[in-house]
Amino acid sequence: MRSLKIAPSILSADFSRLKDEIQAVEAAGADWLHVDVMDGHFVPNITIGPVVVEWVRKVTTIPVDVHLMITDPDKYAAEFIKAGADWVSIHPDTCANPCATLDKIHALGAKASIAVNPDVPLERVQGCFDHIDMILMMTVFPGFGGQAFIAEVLAKITEVRDLIDQQKRAIFIEVDGGIKTDNIARVVAAGGEIIVSGSGIFKTLNYGATIQQMRRAVGQA
Ligand code: DX5
Ligand code: ZN
């Protein structure tokens, strides 16, 4: 069985107490920390820049997983990696040559991932499979935390799982958007292994209990 990794998205955290929130999810059993970077151009929302990532890095020891929803990752990836990003995801429509951008992320010392929006077919990113360590399957349209899970993406997650297994590739499948205790089992059954959850964790009262419940739901308590 693939081991489940839970990656709380700090977008839904209380930013007035960001350090406490990060340390609370880490103590609650979070495996990675997901950081949603939005620039108001690629998506209609503005969130976090490299300055914040630098401080996040200082208060946690778990991997920092930066999801770039910005128009120019070629220009900014280096700053996020310098700030401490271990993983960097890009959206293919934001760069002229996604494979080259992914190679650049590797050259800068981070792991590289490509994101697939709910309405984007896998064929659009398959050409980059030699250049990624992870594929980020979006189960909402990027832009905001707290949106409803798009269940139609499950079939595409199974499709990418089969493709990766058939080709014996070392590519993680991360799934992001609307995942909570009540649907995580379906996401993992479809083939997801790194599970992002923002409101599903930070909007609950007891992070430890929620993460435990997620692990129990997939039979990995
Ligand atoms: C959406 C972001 C997600 C989001 C997850 O644009 O990429 O990471 O913050 O939050 P929830 O789990 O609340 O959908
Ligand atoms: Zn995200």
Provide the whole-model pTM: 0.98
Is 65 annotated in the active site?
no
Name the nearest CA neighbour of 204 among 8, 7, 69: 8
pLDDT digit string (tens) for the chain, length 221 residues:
789 999 999 999 999 999 999 999 999 999 999 999 999 999 999 999 999 999 999 999 999 999 999 999 999 999 999 999 999 999 999 999 999 999 999 999 999 999 999 999 999 999 999 999 999 999 999 999 999 999 999 999 999 999 999 999 999 999 999 999 999 999 999 999 999 999 999 999 999 999 999 999 999 98
DSSP 127: T
Please give the full DSSP string across 141-188, using - where no structure is assigned.
Answer: -TT-SSPPP-GGGHHHHHHHHHHHHHTT---EEEEESS--TTTHHHHH
Is 176 annotated in the active site?
yes
Whether 12 is in the pocket of ligand 1, judged by its Cβ within 6 Å, is: yes
C-alpha 94 to ligand 1 mean position (Å): 19
Contacts for 143 with CB less than 8 Å, ≥ 6 apart: 38, 43, 44, 45, 69
Atom 4 in ligand 1: which residue has the minimum CA distance?
A: 145
Name the nearest CA neighbour of 157 among 170, 176, 143, 144: 176
Q: Cβ(216)–Cβ(4) under 8 Å? A: no
pLDDT for 41-71, tens place per residue? 999 999 999 999 999 999 999 999 999 999 9
